């Protein structure tokens, strides 16, 4: 039982309760707990088994939830979830996977139209009944139709951090069994895509049949799909598929290259091999029947006259040409980061004080962080008005005065209002060390209006960066329809940075837009959008995103030591 598995059960309880009209506070408690657990840095299973930590010390976990976690860890299931599920038709929960359909809408469809499954929904749509329901416009109808089509052909993709939890656990388990020499998770996971379809693990071993046996009896396996002496496929609880392949050491590099992909990268590479009279496959690079390379990836690329390429770049977006000309970027690394520039505290919707956030950041060897609680417009999170914000800044000044070698930047996540104005007056913004402006409201405005709001914010003298610039939520909400070329050009001209938000649910800017923004001359900041001290490790995902966009340390302002960072901010340069 990994943390995401526990979180999923709590999310399901929240969905089921909401469909069944339970008390909203109870629904919220399960939802918040799910989020806390999903992002909790240590495996709860280990904590429960060790019995050394009181689970109620985790923010948002009370006695009742602690007991339920223990129940899940020890029995593998949650009776409450099973009870609630029995009260509803089985197909109803599948409807929640359709984009745009949350528990509230599913409840309406069920109550008013007796829709119990995806098939029922399709019929109701065709009969024109759905558009008559309150809150279901023509746009929504279109989305549901598209979603119904997709739900049938594509399986759900898992967020990178959840897949990482699963991957890390299964790799540790395989290694602990002995007999594994080399092991690597290839595929989209190694390319660090923001979502993962399935995990592709490669091993070399003297006893591959035993490794396959051990794999099939892993505790989190729900179903063994297939199993042989050198290959096996399983499905874990929660549905993630894992393929395991054992290969001979002489072919390990070739297999790693092939199964890392992407498919489009492999197609291009194979063509280059053919042009040079080679044959390339997962067993090696061959001249006739002779294998000329295969032990390492570098051997294969180099034999083809190419530099070795970091997996994050292997998307057939021009990396092969750069590798041939020895012009690949020197991608930024996690150890380049000197600070984190978006995080929330218990003053708004975070779970930790600024002191606790700073302490956690120090442990990561950062020199600085920005505390960016929400501004007043975001009432849902108890956003800060000028009075409360100034009080927080005063407390930060006092903390900084006593701290050695670490600085908290006085900051705010400033809302760009629906009318394009900023949520706080200039005299307040002038007192900040750093301001990141974001959009949370008016997401359905026309492209022109959204673009205008972002461009105006980018040009404002006290806005240093635009945060989560597209507003996308991975797998849940598409970027809002703004002209990101216009926004990028405005940022480059004004000296406003664009944020790469590494929160696994955001991953925003998306990689292709970030790569384009770099071409327009934009500079970037990386952040985690942490809501608890344990989230600061999300920086890894911001770095993944930056690497996929081809960014180097010099493209990113918070790779600089504090003084240099502050010199580069817009507010210092005018």
Q: Which is nearer to Ca ion, 198 or 508 (CB)?
A: 198
How far apart are CB 478 and Zn ion at their closest, in Å? 17
Identified binder of ligand DGT from the candidate list 198, 220, 297, 508, rule CB under 6 A: 198
**Structure-block tokens of residue 237:** 């609880």
Whether 561 and 405 have beta carbons less than 8 Å apart is answered as no
187 belongs to the binding site for ligand DGT (CB under 6 A): yes
Nearest to 249 by CA among 210, 298, 204: 204
Q: Which residue is nearest to Zn ion (CB)?
A: 438
**Partner in contact with 267, chosen from Ca ion, Zn ion, ligand DGT, none, beta carbon below 5 to 8 Å by kind:** ligand DGT
Q: Which is nearer to Zn ion, 438 or 566 (CB)?
A: 438
Identified binder of ligand DGT from the candidate list 196, 306, 389, 414, rule CB under 6 A: 196
How far apart are CB 245 and Ca ion at their closest, in Å? 10
Identified binder of ligand DGT from the candidate list 77, 90, 267, 292, rule CB under 6 A: 267
How far apart are CB 378 and Zn ion at their closest, in Å? 8
Site for ligand DGT in 237-266 (CB under 6 A): 258-259, 261-263, 266
How far apart are CB 165 and ligand DGT at their closest, in Å? 16
Q: Which is nearer to Zn ion, 253 or 469 (CB)?
A: 469
The Cα–Cα gap between 321 and 327 comes to: 8
Whether 131 and 138 have beta carbons less than 8 Å apart is answered as yes
| Residues pairing with 370 in the sheet | 409
Q: Which is nearer to Ca ion, 191 or 560 (CB)?
A: 191
**Partner in contact with 261, chosen from Zn ion, Ca ion, ligand DGT, none, beta carbon below 5 to 8 Å by kind:** ligand DGT
Distances (CA, A) of 466 to 321, 459, 471, 492, 550: 32, 10, 11, 12, 20
**Structure-block tokens of residue 398:** 């006092």
Instruction: For residue 47, report the phi and psi dihedrals to the nearest 5 degrees.
Output: -65, -45
**Structure-block tokens of residue 465:** 């960066």
194 belongs to the binding site for ligand DGT (CB under 6 A): no
Whether 73 and 1 have beta carbons less than 8 Å apart is answered as yes
Q: Which is nearer to Ca ion, 32 or 188 (CB)?
A: 188
Q: Is 324 left (phi over 0), alpha (psi -120 to 50) or beta?
A: alpha
Mark the segment that binds ligand DGT (CB under 6 A) among 118-126, 191-199, 204-212, 549-557: 191-199
Q: Is 24 left (phi over 0), alpha (psi -120 to 50) or beta?
A: alpha
How far apart are CB 444 and Zn ion at their closest, in Å? 17
238-267 mask for Ca ion (x: CB under 5 A)? Answer: -----x------------------------
The Cα–Cα gap between 132 and 138 comes to: 10
Q: Which is nearer to ligand DGT, 280 or 482 (CB)?
A: 280
200 belongs to the binding site for ligand DGT (CB under 6 A): yes
Mark the segment that binds ligand DGT (CB under 6 A) among 190-198, 225-233, 356-364, 449-457: 190-198
Tell me how many residues contact ligand DGT (CB under 6 A).
Answer: 13
For the chain, helix, strand, coil in percent to 5 are 50, 15, 35
Instruction: For residue 243, report the phi and psi dihedrals to the nearest 5 degrees.
Output: -100, 135
The 3-state DSSP class for residue 534 equals helix
Site for Ca ion in 171-200 (CB under 5 A): 187, 198, 200
How far apart are CB 259 and ligand DGT at their closest, in Å? 5
The Cα–Cα gap between 383 and 67 comes to: 33
Q: What residue has token string 């091993």?
A: 203
Q: What residue has token string 């010099």?
A: 554
Q: What is the DSSP annotation of 211-261?
A: HHHHHHT-TTEEEEEEE-SSEEEEEEGGG-EEEEEE--GGGHHHHHHHHH-
Identified binder of Zn ion from the candidate list 260, 266, 438, 566, rule CB under 5 A: 438
How far apart are CB 200 and Ca ion at their closest, in Å? 4
Q: Which is nearer to ligand DGT, 181 or 263 (CB)?
A: 263
Residues at the interface with Zn ion (CB under 5 A): 438
- Binding footprint of ligand DGT on the chain (CB under 6 A): 187-188, 196-198, 200, 258-259, 261-263, 266-267
């Amino acid at each position: 039982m990994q943390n995401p598995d526990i979180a999923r059960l709590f999310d399901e309880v929240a969905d089921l309760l909401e469909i069944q009209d339970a008390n909203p506070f109870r629904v919220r408690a399960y939802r918040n707990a799910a989020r806390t657990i999903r992002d909790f840095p240590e495996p709860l299973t280990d904590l429960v088994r060790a019995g050394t930590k009181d689970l109620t010390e985790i923010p948002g976990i009370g006695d009742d939830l602690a007991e339920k976690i223990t129940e899940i860890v020890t029995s593998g299931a949650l009776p409450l979830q099973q009870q609630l599920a029995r009260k509803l038709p089985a197909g109803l929960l599948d409807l929640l996977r359709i984009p745009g359909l949350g528990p509230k809408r599913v409840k309406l469809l069920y109550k008013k139209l007796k829709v119990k499954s995806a098939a029922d929904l399709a019929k109701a749509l065709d009969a024109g009944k759905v558009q008559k329901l309150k809150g279901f416009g023509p746009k929504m109808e279109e989305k549901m139709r598209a979603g119904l089509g997709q739900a049938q052909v594509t399986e759900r993709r898992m967020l990178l951090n959840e897949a990482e939890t699963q991957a890390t656990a299964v790799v540790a388990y395989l290694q602990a069994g002995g007999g594994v020499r080399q092991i690597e998770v290839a595929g989209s996971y190694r390319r660090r895509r923001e979502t993962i379809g399935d995990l592709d693990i490669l091993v070399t071993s003297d006893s591959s049949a035993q490794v396959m046996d051990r794999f099939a009896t892993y505790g989190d396996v729900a179903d063994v799909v297939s199993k042989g002496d050198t290959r096996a496929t399983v499905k874990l609880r929660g549905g993630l598929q894992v393929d395991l392949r054992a290969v001979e050491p002489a072919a390990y590099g070739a297999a790693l290259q092939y199964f890392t992909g992407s498919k489009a990268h492999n197609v291009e590479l194979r063509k280059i091999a053919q042009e040079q009279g080679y044959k390339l496959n997962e067993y090696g690079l061959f001249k006739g029947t002779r294998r000329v390379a295969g032990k390492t990836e570098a051997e294969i690329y180099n034999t083809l006259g190419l530099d070795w390429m970091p997996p994050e770049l292997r998307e057939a977006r021009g990396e092969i040409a750069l590798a041939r000309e020895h012009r690949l970027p020197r991608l930024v690394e996690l150890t380049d980061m000197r600070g984190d520039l978006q995080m929330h505290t218990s003053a708004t919707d975070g779970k930790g004080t600024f002191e606790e956030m700073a302490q956690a950041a120090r442990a990561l060897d950062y020199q600085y962080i920005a505390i960016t609680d929400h501004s007043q417009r975001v009432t849902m999170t108890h956003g800060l008005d000028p009075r409360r914000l100034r009080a927080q800044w005063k407390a930060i000044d006092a903390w900084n005065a006593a701290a050695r070698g670490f600085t908290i930047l006085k900051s705010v996540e400033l809302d760009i209002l629906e009318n394009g104005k900023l949520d706080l007056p200039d005299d307040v913004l002038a007192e900040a060390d750093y301001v990141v402006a974001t959009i949370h409201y008016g997401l359905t405005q026309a492209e022109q209006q959204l673009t205008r709001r972002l461009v105006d914010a980018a040009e404002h003298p006290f806005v240093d960066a635009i945060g989560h610039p597209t507003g996308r939520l991975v797998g849940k909400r598409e970027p809002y329809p703004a002209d990101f070329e216009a926004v990028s050009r405005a940022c480059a001209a004004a000296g406003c940075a664009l944020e790469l938000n590494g929160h696994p649910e955001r991953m925003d800017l998306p990689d292709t837009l970030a790569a384009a923004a770099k071409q327009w001359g934009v500079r970037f900041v990386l952040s985690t959008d942490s809501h608890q001290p344990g989230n600061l490790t999300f920086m890894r995902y911001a770095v993944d995103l930056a690497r996929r966009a081809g960014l180097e340390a010099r493209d990113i302002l918070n790779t600089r030591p504090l003084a240099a960072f502050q010199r580069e901010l817009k507010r210092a340069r005018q």
